[in-house]
Amino acid sequence: MSDSSEEIFANILKPGSFLHPTFLAILDAIFLLLFLLFIALAFVTSGNFHIFALMAIELGLWASVKWFVEEYKKIKTEEAGQNDQRKEE
């Protein structure tokens, strides 16, 4: 294993590790591969309704994960700003 992959696996369970850019890129790649798999299954099954329902669920999950990460980043930025203001006082 390369050093970067060892670093990711070593830090995966630490609090806030989901903000690591490499982890987010891997997560996006996994969601994309899952979506592409559902597209392939939609063609193979001749447009089975269940596959489209699973696509919608997967897209909703992907969007909610992206939203959560962005909101968490905003909160962390606000907390850092408040801590800086307290230090100045």
The separation between the first and the last C-alpha atoms of the chain, rounded to the nearest angstrom, is: 48
- Cβ pair 31, 62 in contact under 8 A: yes
**Residue 64: pLDDT band with limits 50, 70, 90:** very high
**Average confidence (pLDDT) over 11-36:** 84
Count the alpha carbons within 13 Å of 41 in the hemisphere toward its beta carbon: 14
- Host domain of residue 77: 3-88
What's the whole-number average pLDDT of the chain?
Answer: 85
Tally the domains of the chain: 1
Please state, for a pLDDT cut of 90, what percent of the chain lies above it: 48
